[in-house]
Structure 1
Amino acid sequence: MKQVPFIAVEGPIGVGKSSLAREISNYYQYTLLNEIVEENPFLGNFYKDIDEWSFQTEMFFLCNRYKQLEDIKKYHLAQGQPAVADYHIFKNQIFAERTLQSQQYEKYKKIYYILTENMPEPNLIIYLRASLDTLLERISLRGRDIEKNIDPAYLFQLSSDYDKFMEKFSKDHPNVPVITFDGDKIDFVKNKQHLKTIFSEIDQHLCVSN
């Protein structure tokens, strides 16, 4: 049976997930799914005091992503309409494991597995990674007030967590292709040739899956 394309763009904060998902949506005419970020009422406090605000922040993200994926499944994928998202819900595990206390994390995992059961799974993942300097530069350029207090050490550790998680994900999900791009070497916003390179890679995988 032919798969309905569902692409997820992933990577650490500031790497360009939303920008690339938007470009993919425009180019392929896919439904665009953007995660809710600035609407999270706990996020500003989270960057000031991670220990105090991590559980509220992660629960807000989990519930909103759950609702978004329910809607994309029901109203788009089930109707044969391809989609691209600027996240995969597995990112919740990366952030929660890093920020939550052990007892909180155990409670969180139980809720996570209940909510994500039967969720739509992307059949292609684009992983954007970059050095700390590049991430900090891009975060500064987009100028979100809530991100002004991001600790560079937290961001560096998060990038490392992503690399480890993606390596494990690729081994555990051999049928889900992961295309990795180095944000230090490729800038699809400033260089449209880089964007064409990304589209070319996507085309190859879409042809194989279809």
Structure 2
Amino acid sequence: MVSIIFVNAPIGAGKTSLTRMLVADLGTKGFYEEVDKIPMLKEFYAQGEESRNDLSFALQIAFLNYRFGQLREGLHLAERGIVNTVYDSSLISDALMSFNLYKRGEFPEVMYNLYVSLNQNMVSDVAGHPFNGYPDLIVFLDIPFDLMLDHISKRGRDMEDIRKDPKLVDYYYSVWNTYNSWYDSFGQAPVVRVDMSKYDFVNNLSDRNTVLNLIEQKLVDLGKLTQDEFDKIKAKRDKEV
């Protein structure tokens, strides 16, 4: 059965790691945020608030174009009934990041309104595929703020280093808060919440299996995965231990 899954979470929560695990488990197609393909991102971080204000529109348009291409490819595959698709980020996530910049006064209102309009127009017709902007399932990684900072630090990207720019902590907190507010009010698609203070699916195999079972059971409940398929996936995982 074809399904579209978005993994949604703030910076450094583990979206890419979980997407890779789901792709391997479900035998699906994954779409990833490859930072090197958005070179403007480094410039966005370079001068703190000043560069965020100057480049917010250009960066979000770059992400919009990038995500749109991924979504278009995924919908083409779904139309042919070949694979499911899992995205480690999405236009929903991009809209949240844009809204956060707008709230912070780092995305001029005229440009922000133009971005929102363009986002809506593109989502409404993805290369001839009607799409309401929402996937079959969203996985939300609910991460404590201190753990989020720890993850960001451990992945070692210079542009994200709070030791070089302590003011980034305030920016990261605003991103974290925006995602939590989104989760508290979102109701347009089914959401599975993963408590990152409880589960370390990257380093703990038992936690990994628990999280994967949680997500895949939801797919069964939604009619996107049969119970037999789910049982076979779990049996395969047990053999690999």
Unpaired segments of 5 or more residues in structure 1? none
Q: How many residues align?
A: 203
TM-score normalised to the size of structure 2? Answer: 0.79
Residue 116 of structure 1 is matched in structure 2 by: 123
Which structure 2 residues correspond to residues 120-139 of structure 1 after superposition, within 5 A? 121-139=134-152
Residue 194 of structure 1 is matched in structure 2 by: 207
SS at 1:13 equivalent: coil
Give the CA deviation at 1:205.
1.3
Residue 113 of structure 2 is matched in structure 1 by: 106
Which aligned segments of 4 or more residues in structure 1 are displaced greater than 4 angstroms?
Answer: none
Contact 1:7 1:84 in 2 (8 A): yes
Give the CA deviation at 1:129.
1.9
Match of 1:25 among 23, 26, 30: 23
Equivalent AA in structure 2 for residue 109 of structure 1: V
Which structure has the higher relative contact order (CA within 8 Å, separation 6+)? Answer: 1
Match of 2:11 among 1, 10, 13: 13
Q: What is the rounded CA distance, in whole Å, between the counterparts of 2:36 and 2:206 in structure 1?
A: 31
Residue 40 of structure 2 is matched in structure 1 by: 42
Contact 1:129 1:159 in 2 (8 A): no
Which is higher, the Rg of structure 1 or of structure 2? Answer: 2
Identity %: 28
Contact 2:200 2:207 in 1 (8 A): yes
SS at 1:45 equivalent: helix
Aligned pair 1:84/2:104, yes or no?
no
Give the CA deviation at 1:140.
1.4
Unpaired segments of 5 or more residues in structure 2? 102-106, 125-129, 224-241
Q: What is the rounded CA distance, in whole Å, between the counterparts of 2:85 and 2:94 in structure 1?
A: 20
SS at 1:189 equivalent: coil
Contact 2:192 2:218 in 1 (8 A): no
SS at 1:181 equivalent: strand
CA-based RMSD of the aligned residues comes to 1.6
Give the CA deviation at 1:188.
0.5
